[in-house]
Structure 1
Amino acid sequence: MNSINDTIGKSSQAFASHPGYRRMFAPNELTLGIFLPLRFYDGDMGVLVGQADVVRDIDRHGFAAVWVRDVPLFDPAFGDAGQVFDPFTYLAFLAAQTKAIALATGSAIFSLRHPIDLAKASATIDQLSGGRLVLGIASGDRPVEFPAYGLEHAERGERFAQAVAYFRQLISSKTPIIDSPLGRIAGAEFLPKPVSGAIPLMVTGSSRQSLAWIGEQADGWLTFPEATHTREGPQRLAEKIRAWRKLIPDGGFRPHMTNEWIDLVEDPNHPRTPLRGGYVLRTGRKGLIDLLGEWRNADVNHAALGIQFSLRPAGEVVQELAEEVLPHFPSHQGHSDFKVPW
């Protein structure tokens, strides 16, 4: 049986040729992504009409990534339906609509689904997209979903760690031998394999794990940004990132990601102003550029921006971000020699 550490070592080397990873991440640099949906579901699927057209523009403009959320059930008490479409089905659709942009989950709930199903969907999208899938993963934050799956919410942390181990062994071995509380495999092969041999797993928050576990096991770390309207927030974020990176066993590069919901106003000089208790940032583009620069100085490598709360049309916001903000934080070369034959 492959050890988890052996699998991690092999995966880290494989990311040097992983198109999605390469497009998003490089040491001491920050790139930009866009979170979907572009407008929150409010009881009418019409808010999603035309979203794929904007995603094609996002790809054409040269953003690093487009992100989709994973929310199996809408809990009205939670107040946010999140990503209405199944994330894997939707990413497969977007893979056919785009050419270069990384396709990221923020975040796939590893505690709810079986790792075979997660691996099958992930490796399929990775192949269909030419190696552009980057998996943000999490243990889940909506308690109503767990009894619906027949699972205990209190056990989500343990199940998350088990699913990560199972997933990695499954996709990395030709004929894996797996003996896990989540299932046993011997004498069977998993297909398809990822394009570059591995799929990066970016742990979200703590996912009910220790910081030491995240330092050892995660291929990257996605966290909330702290306050975004003052310099103190990025400074606190920098401290958190430094503490995590000290726990990476080989001291090698592993990327950090963060995100913010923004209301980008037309006035470029509008100050960074927190809304909804700090959940949303209203700002002009100059304030946003300053924030992104502070994040880059804090050693953040990718920023995913959600524009669901913007009062302006989504296409207009994307256009301004592309013309005025993206040139300061360009994407990296993420193409590979892999040609998509499908």
Structure 2
Amino acid sequence: MENANRGYERLFGDDALTVGTTFPLTDADEERPDVERELALAERLEAFGFDALWARDVPTYWPKFGDTGQTFDPWTWLSRVAGRTDDIILGTASVVLTLRHPLHVAKAAASLDHLSDGRLVLGVASGDRPPEYEAFGIKEAERGAAFRESVRVLRAAWREEYPEVETRWGTLDGTLDVVPKPTAGDLPLLATGNSRQSREWIADHADGWLFYHLPEDTLRSYLDDWHDRTEKPFVTTCTVDLADDPDADPEHVNQGFRAGAAWFRDYFRDLDAWGVDHIIVGVRGDDRERAYERFAAVVVDEL
């Protein structure tokens, strides 16, 4: 990415695998998390050496889906986190572009980029909760086209002064500008999942690809295909349930594994060798702070 911001450079600036995690950091999946506990743990994770903290964008609560994300709006929440941290990168995983006006996204993201001293990286998505489209007056069948148009508006709003662009959301005719501009002149966009797009489009228009946890063979085929198209970064996710026995063999859990530290070290080294640039982990444990501290000490620090 040309004129990469501070966040993009830390996560993808060299060949080393970087590691982040996602809110809520505590175990509050269906209720509002305790703000002070979350912020205190975010500070601890920065001290432990994690590279990034990612916040989800869940505009409405749909009980059938099973969780509320971290409950709070990602712009408001990450602004609060920015004030309590210094260097850890702040990411969205991911902003649902189809349900937000792109000019609002452009201004909110650029504002957070400034307030965090350039630490923001944006995962962006087309959405996956059917009732939300009707609630927001969006035709579900058109979300792929809406996603592409939103990206086009964001790029124009960030890169150009008094842009001229016409989309389903309205017209910029060159008499209005969107400020502030990002600290590095643009903001990195990581397309999440397929976002209703072809891989060719993602490789050409996004600054990286963020994909959910995949079986090894599938992941490697995706990585091979991606790297045949582009040198842009690839991000994936993994649930981590660290066993007490450091030599425990892996067992599958939802979106990841329960295993010993030795196996996780080897797995992360494999991910690095296969071409994964950043991994977003969700660490399980009755005492989340202790679980994150242990994972950082016996896995991340040893990579």
Q: Does TM-score exceed 0.5, indicating one fold?
A: yes
1:129 is displaced (CA, Å) by 0.4
Letter in 2 for 1:13: E
Distance 2:301 2:112 in 1: 29
Structure 1 unaligned blocks of 5 or more: 1-11, 228-232, 330-342
1:236 is displaced (CA, Å) by 3.2
Matched, 1:199 2:175: no
Matched, 1:317 2:291: yes
- The within-5 A match list for 1:240-279 is 240-248=222-230, 253-276=231-254, 279=255
Partner residue in 1 for 2:98: 111
Distance 1:76 1:127 in 2: 35
* Cα deviation 1:121-149 (Å, max 9, x = unaligned): 10011000000000001000111111111
1:108 is displaced (CA, Å) by 0.6
Distance 2:126 2:248 in 1: 37
Letter in 2 for 1:246: D
Q: Is the CA contact (8 Å cut-off) linking 1:41 and 1:84 kept in structure 2?
A: no
* Cα deviation 1:1-21 (Å, max 9, x = unaligned): xxxxxxxxxxx2111xx1111
Distance change (3 Å), C-alpha of 1:46 and 1:85 = closer
Matched, 1:239 2:217: no
Letter in 2 for 1:326: V
| Local SS of the residue matching 2:178 | coil
Partner residue in 2 for 1:156: 143
Letter in 1 for 2:177: E
Distance 1:46 1:159 in 2: 32
Distance 2:141 2:57 in 1: 19
Letter in 1 for 2:188: P
Q: Is the CA contact (8 Å cut-off) linking 1:138 and 1:204 kept in structure 2?
A: yes
1:312 is displaced (CA, Å) by 2.9
* Cα deviation 1:269-310 (Å, max 9, x = unaligned): 22211124xx34212222211111111111000001012xx2
Q: Is the CA contact (8 Å cut-off) linking 2:238 and 2:282 kept in structure 1?
A: yes
* Cα deviation 1:190-229 (Å, max 9, x = unaligned): 11111111110000111000011111111000112312xx
Matched, 1:217 2:205: yes
Q: Is the CA contact (8 Å cut-off) linking 1:201 and 1:219 kept in structure 2?
A: yes
Distance change (3 Å), C-alpha of 1:53 and 1:242 = same
| Local SS of the residue matching 1:14 | coil
Q: Is the CA contact (8 Å cut-off) linking 2:30 and 2:68 kept in structure 1?
A: no
1:100 is displaced (CA, Å) by 0.4
CA RMSD of aligned residues (A): 1.6
* Cα deviation 1:166-213 (Å, max 9, x = unaligned): 111111111111122222112111111111111100001110000111
* Cα deviation 1:240-259 (Å, max 9, x = unaligned): 122123223xxxx3111000
Distance change (3 Å), C-alpha of 1:46 and 1:98 = closer
Q: Is the CA contact (8 Å cut-off) linking 1:137 and 1:203 kept in structure 2?
A: yes
Q: Is the CA contact (8 Å cut-off) linking 1:220 and 1:254 kept in structure 2?
A: yes
TM-score, normalised with respect to structure 1: 0.84
Q: Is the CA contact (8 Å cut-off) linking 1:123 and 1:192 kept in structure 2?
A: yes
Partner residue in 2 for 1:294: 270
Matched, 1:303 2:279: yes
Distance change (3 Å), C-alpha of 1:42 and 1:171 = closer
* Superposed structure 1 runs of 4+ greater than 6 Å apart: none
* Cα deviation 1:43-62 (Å, max 9, x = unaligned): 54356651110100111222
Q: Is the CA contact (8 Å cut-off) linking 2:29 and 2:69 kept in structure 1?
A: no
Structure 2 unaligned blocks of 5 or more: none
Distance change (3 Å), C-alpha of 1:44 and 1:69 = closer
Distance 1:109 1:193 in 2: 21
Letter in 1 for 2:266: D
| Local SS of the residue matching 1:94 | helix
Letter in 1 for 2:8: Y
Distance 1:132 1:120 in 2: 16
Matched, 1:129 2:116: yes
Equivalent pairs counted in the alignment come to: 302
Partner residue in 2 for 1:54: 41
Distance 1:127 1:108 in 2: 18
| Local SS of the residue matching 1:226 | coil
The alignment-based identity, stated in percent, is 35
Q: Is the CA contact (8 Å cut-off) linking 2:33 and 2:70 kept in structure 1?
A: no
